[in-house]
Structure 1
Amino acid sequence: MPLAVLGLGSNIQRRHHLTRALDALATLADPAPLRLSPVYESPAVGFEDDRPFYNLVVAFETELSPTALNDRCKRIERDNGRPAGPTKFVARTLDIDLLLWGEAVGRHGDARLPREDILRYAFVLHPLADLLPSHAHPVDGRTFGALWAAFDAADQSRAQPHWPVDFRWKGRLVSRATDA
């Protein structure tokens, strides 16, 4: 089965909405566990609302197609109060983005794989590198660990502050990449 990799974020009732999202995603991954990155906090740069975000990456094997999985993720977002329609640069209860689905490249419904945000944002690449450091980007070819090392050491003018935070899910502290 392909490995699905999702990026999750929230800046409204962050712990509550991320916990609900993880609970819902765990049902899609059943019986295999969700694999979780550490959770990072980052400022909401360029947003109308300046509440900081919590972000993490999850991975699990799935029989769902990329389109079906992306549709389920959008339903989870709506179930958690995210309005339909354009929501760029506004506060959000929940954001779930399909980052990778196996080695898929190209457009799959509304999802473009691999998601370009992987190479653009520290709050996506860093937790992805924590979770899957030896996995290779399907287009770039470098591992996520190597991509993060290059991103972090590259141009400091594009430095994007973020820091790990303690986060508990199902009674377990998520402070390093783990199977939950």
Structure 2
Amino acid sequence: MAQIFISIGSNVNKEINVINSIKTLKAYFPGLSCSSVFESESIGFDGNNFYNLVAAAKTELPLFEVCLLLKKIERDNGRLHNDKKFSPRTLDLDLLFFDDVICDEPAQLPRDEITKNAFVLWPLAELAPEFIHPINNLSIAEIWQGYDKTKQKLWKVELSFK
């Protein structure tokens, strides 16, 4: 069984889309666990604030099927895949890790934004502080400890999805 981590984000009907995505992910990954939900300002464009969190699960699905499933869940929640990179999102599901796989296809793993964005790193550090990043061989807690926390503002929000 592979250990996977998924970044979840939304800034369009964010409460509904985040809750729906978690319910759907739990249907496919029954042991799914989630970090706290964080709110942050949009980065790279002017837009509504985002809700972000990270989910962890184990799966027997191969990597390619996990990637297809995440794209299907995004589409089912109104995501258009011709959206430009920095724009509003109904739902953004990014596979961060698939065990310790390092690859560029069918997805970039580990996801580059892990070490660059607080809205990914903080919830990941909360959920899996001891997980070792396969490229830099540091724990997620060590990466978060060394992260410049003045770069991005985010805060925890209450969202009931359990």
The equivalent position to 1:130 in structure 2, one of 126, 132, 138, is 126
1:168 pairs with 2:143: no
How far 1:108 moved relative to its partner? 3.0
Q: Provide the aligned C-alpha RMSD in A.
A: 1.2
How far 1:22 moved relative to its partner? 0.5
SS of structure 2 residue aligned to 1:15: helix
Q: Distance in 2 between matches of 1:63 and 1:53?
A: 31
Letter in 2 for 1:146: E
Match of 1:7 in 2: 7
SS of structure 2 residue aligned to 1:106: coil
Match of 1:177 in 2: none
Runs of 4+ off more than 4 Å: none
TM-score normalized by the length of structure 1:
0.86
How far 1:90 moved relative to its partner? 1.0
Range 67-76 or range 86-95, more displaced: 86-95
TM-score normalized by the length of structure 2:
0.96
Q: Distance in 2 between matches of 1:135 and 1:84?
A: 31
SS of structure 2 residue aligned to 1:97: strand
Letter in 1 for 2:126: D
Q: Distance in 1 between matches of 2:27 and 2:44?
A: 34
Structure 2: runs of 5 or more not aligned: none
Letter in 2 for 1:21: S
**For each residue in 1:83-102, what CA deviation from the matched residue of structure 2 results, as whole angstroms up to 9, or x when unmatched?**
12243111111000000001
Range 61-70 or range 142-151, more displaced: 61-70
Match of 1:17 in 2: 17
1:101 pairs with 2:93: no
How far 1:45 moved relative to its partner? 2.4
Alignment coverage as a number of residue pairs: 162
Structure 1: runs of 5 or more not aligned: 171-180
